[in-house]
Structure formats: C-alpha cells, structure tokens
Chain A
C-alpha cells in the first residue's frame, strides 16, 4: 500500500531560521515524490518534484530511498514561506497521487 506520512501538523520557526518539513513514505516500487504548497487564499500548486532535482524559492528536497524520506529544506526561512505544505507520492501508473496530511509552516518575524 502507498502511504505518505508528515509527522508535524504545524511547524513554527523564526524568520532567518532553517526549515525542515519531514515526509516519509511507504511504497514497494520506485516512487515519484512531490511537494505541493498552498499559500493563503491561493490554489494548491506544485513546488517541486524529486526527478527535477531543482531548487524552487530556495527549497530543496532529496529522495532518500534507504530512509524512505523526502524532507523539504530551506536554509533561511522568510515570512512569505508561510503556507500549507503537502508531500505526495505517485506510484507506477504515474498518474494518481497519494498525499500526506500536510504541515502548516508558520514563519514568525
């Protein structure tokens, strides 16, 4: 069964502090992992996907198959990073996504 776990419902950090949003997954094959973000009053949108290996808005995420994790990191948080973040997994059919429960990131000034 495919499962995505985001252990933190809320992560609160000060501006300028490092951020790490945790994501662990359960999948027997080779998954594709994504991070989606929803800013206040905006629609859910893709932030990044592991196959592209790029940094978006200063965020990066590395797929660790040994630890079955795909944690999202940013070295210095900004107030505009405050949002709901969802980790998601796509299995072999490449279409359906399984989402985690989400983590609210709150960056305080």
Chain B
C-alpha cells in the first residue's frame, strides 16, 4: 500500500516567516506534486517534480519554491509567508501516468 506522509497536519505561522512543508512517499515513485486546495477553486498545482533535483512550475508557483534532493522527499518552501497563502496543502506521488496518491494534507494558517 502506497503511503504518502506530510510533516504536519496543522501549522500556524506569522507573515514574513519562512515555511517548510515536507512530503515523503515510500513507493519509489518518480513523480511528486504539491497542490493547494481552496473552497470553490479545487486543487491547483503549485510545483511538480519528475525526478531528483528536477522541478517544474505548475499553475500557481508565485511565492513558492521546492526542493527534491532525494527521490522519496519533496519539500515545499514559502520564502516569506503571506496571509493569502493560508490554505490546505496537499502532496501527491505518482508512478508513470498512473493514479496519484495523496497525503493527508497540511492546513497552514498565516497570521
């Protein structure tokens, strides 16, 4: 069974702080994704990675960066958190073009 874990379920940060969200998968999947989930907007892709040290921008990359130093780990970084980044963040992993497996989500609040 594929397991995707995220470092925190809930996180509260102050405006301007640097925030790290981590995602780990245990199935040797090549592809990993970061989304944000907002009511009425669905899931929007922030960044994705097809391999170690590779990253590509999704639909809403502004204000975010990512890091993939190891195949199993994909980190999302908010360089300077802002209130409009308050959201639910979902990580997913995928093997080839098959289904995506999602983590439990991190609910981030920026005050």
Contacts and interface: CB of A to CB of B under 8 A. Distances in A.
Given A95-B94, A96-B45, A43 B105 contact: yes
Interface residues of A, number: 23
B50 interface: yes
A4 B59 CA distance: 14
Interface-centre pick from B42, B94, B104 (highest chain A CB count, 10 A): B42
Nearest to A49: B99
A31 interface: no
Contacts of A99: 35, 42-44
A100 B42 contact: yes
Given A44-B102, A45-B102, A94 B96 contact: yes
The SS class assigned to the B binding surface is strand
Contact of A101 (B33, B35, B41, B102): B41
A45 to B, nearest CB: 7
A16 B2 CA distance: 34
Interface of B: 4, 31, 33, 35, 40-45, 48, 50, 58, 90, 94, 96-97, 99-105
Interface of A: 4, 6, 9, 32, 34, 43-46, 49, 86, 88, 90, 93-102
